[in-house]
Structure 1
Amino acid sequence: MAYLDLDNMFASPVTSRPQPAAAPAPTGFSALEWSVIALAKRDTLRSLSGPSRMSRAMGSLFGLSTASRLADPRLEALRRMAVYAWRRGFALPMAEIQNFLAAGFAEAQIETLVESVTGMRVGAQQKRSIAA
């Protein structure tokens, strides 16, 4: 016995409907994200760790301030990754990469970030060594 769907009589079967293609992973950043990357240039690796009691005491005594974290956790993950990219290039800690991906960024954005900061491409060294 066959079933006849009278409510959707002219609809095509589910299996023959074209499935929407998965959206490609983003490779770029928004203007706000680019500004966070640019501001991270002046931050040091030391700014990524929380201030100790001694540094807070010295800061209040001499008026020195430490770099504060960003309020948005997604932008803070981007700032941390950008600081590492500015200071270390492609030598990024695995924990920071995982935090970056967990914040909603894509792997392709890591490469875009490091390439824009360092001016190097991943395969550029291999191509130069082959040509020489």
Structure 2
Amino acid sequence: MASLPITDWSAAPAPRPRGFEPRLVAVEAASPPAAAARLSALEWSVVALAERDTIASLREPGRIGAALESLFGLGRPNKLANPRLEVLRRVAVFVWRQGWKVPKSELAAFLAEGFTLDQYELIHASIAKRARSGRGR
């Protein structure tokens, strides 16, 4: 078996090339580390409930559709009363049904309600993990 010779690192450092001198460079104060993305228990329950909803549940019915629904007693998932949770439900439905193909307008509304991209990725990771484990859909 071959081996390389061990170098004596205690020796004096090699001379630096001319014109190369170390210097101190000012660095901006690092921003505090971002808090880990989290969702509350209520928000997680909204994500879980969105698994049963379809993309059609996000559309507003027209006059004829509303008349047919009332005539035949078809039910539609109710919108959530809290606008923040409704935006979360809408994004979660898209993630459950279409993966990363969430419309830009929905993502913009999600961010406008105070959610972050880290929370968006957390929702994706959680749904993907659940789908891989066989419990999703």
Alignment partners' CA distance in 2, 1:23 and 1:74: 26
- Structure 1: how far apart are the matches of 2:53 and 2:113? 21
Aligned to 1:53: 63
Alpha-carbon displacement from aligned partner over 1:25-77 (angstroms, at most 9, x marks no partner): 55111000000001000111111111221221111111111122111110011
Letter in 1 for 2:89: R
Distance 2:64 2:105 in 1: 27
Aligned-pair identity in percent equals: 48
CA pair 55-26 structure 1, distance change in 2 beyond 3 A:
farther
Provide the aligned C-alpha RMSD in A: 1.9
1:65-111 CA-to-partner distances (Å, cap 9, x unmatched) read 11221111100110000000000111211111110000010110000
Residue of structure 1 equivalent to 2:41:
31
> Aligned partners of 1:25, 1:74: CA distance in 2, in Å?
20
Report SS of the residue matched to 2:39.
coil
CA displacement at 1:119 relative to structure 2: 2.2
Contact 1:28 1:109 in 2 (8 A): yes
Extract structure 1 runs of 4+ deviating beyond 4 A: none
Counterpart Cα distance in 1 of 2:35 and 2:67: 45
Match 2:111 to one of 82, 93, 101? 101
Report matched runs for 1:1-132 at 5 Å. Answer: 24-25=34-35, 27-119=37-129
Is the helix fraction higher in 1 or 2? 1
The TM-score, its normalising length taken from structure 2, stands at: 0.67
